[in-house]
Amino acid sequence: MSDADNCAIRKRPEDEGQKRYQPDGKGGLLANCRQCGRYGLIGEAAIAASYSWPAEIRGPLSCATHQVSEFGQTLRITAYNAAELAEQHANARASENIDKLLAETARQSGRPGGWAKFDPDTDFTLIDCYSRTEFDQYIAWISDAGLVSKRLVMSGQGPVGDPIYERAFQMSLTMDGWSRGQPLPRPGGLPGRCFRRHVIRPVHGWCIPRRHKTGH
């Protein structure tokens, strides 16, 4: 049912020229990828369509699926909605992406003093970035602005006692970061809830599937 190497969105180089998308028995694909999270292709037509998605769809679609997956939901991609789902993550303003990164750090941290962990190779899609390079830029901005503290995590020691660090790093919001990054309740919906009829709707920078709307 699930195959980490079977991502229809990333189309990894090793998948080039190989038809590796395996139907899950229900005419679709349930994928689980470090960059895209958990998502589903619904129907054989969606699988067929995925082969011809251009890069302009793959980048933002990976953001859409990962951000929904992070909240424990599975985005359903059909043959017809991929472009619409992608479009909502295609034109984020830098300030919106900064707010989204701070909100994600707040969510993972839980409380002041807590730490959030990010793998720069796969977590750039937690905000609307298409590459690690873009993500690194946002990290540098919020770090330089004093909104977060950043630290590396030692995973061991080398032959001469030199520290070896994990690829993933940790961030903790400063007081200024919490002031800007903490999600607040909104009239008509709680943080993490959607109250519009759209399939995906950003709420405080969080994108939530429509089935979690709290009203119309």
CA 57 to chain centre: 15
To Zn ion, the closest distance from the beta carbon of 7 in angstroms equals 3
How many DSSP H helices and E strands does the chain contain? Answer: 6, 9
CA-wise closest residue to 34 among 76, 6, 75: 6
Q: How far is the CB of 134 from Zn ion (least distance, A)?
A: 17
Closer Cβ to Zn ion, 35 or 73, answer by number: 35
Closest distance to Zn ion from the beta carbon of 128 (Å): 16
DSSP, collapsed to helix, strand or coil, labels residue 91 as: coil
One-letter identity of residue 140: A
The terminus-to-terminus CA distance of the chain in angstroms comes to: 34
Beta carbon nearer to Zn ion, 36 or 199: 36
Residue closer to Zn ion, measured from CB, 39 or 195? 39
- Which one, 24 or 176, has the nearer CB to Zn ion? 24
State the Cα–Cα distance between residues 205 and 203, nearest whole angstrom. Answer: 5
For the bound state, the minimum distance from the C-beta of residue 65 to Zn ion, rounded and expressed in Å, comes to 7
| In the complex, minimum distance from the CB of residue 74 to Zn ion, in angstroms, rounded to a whole number | 13
DSSP assignment letter at 21: -
Nearer to Zn ion, 36 or 49 (CB): 36
Identity of the residue, 10 or 213, whose beta carbon is nearer to Zn ion in the bound complex: 10
Q: Position of tokens 């399939």?
A: 199
Which residues make up the interface to Zn ion (CB under 5 A)? 7, 9-10, 33, 35-36
Q: How far is the CB of 58 from Zn ion (least distance, A)?
A: 9
Give the H/E segment covering residue 38.
Answer: strand 37-42
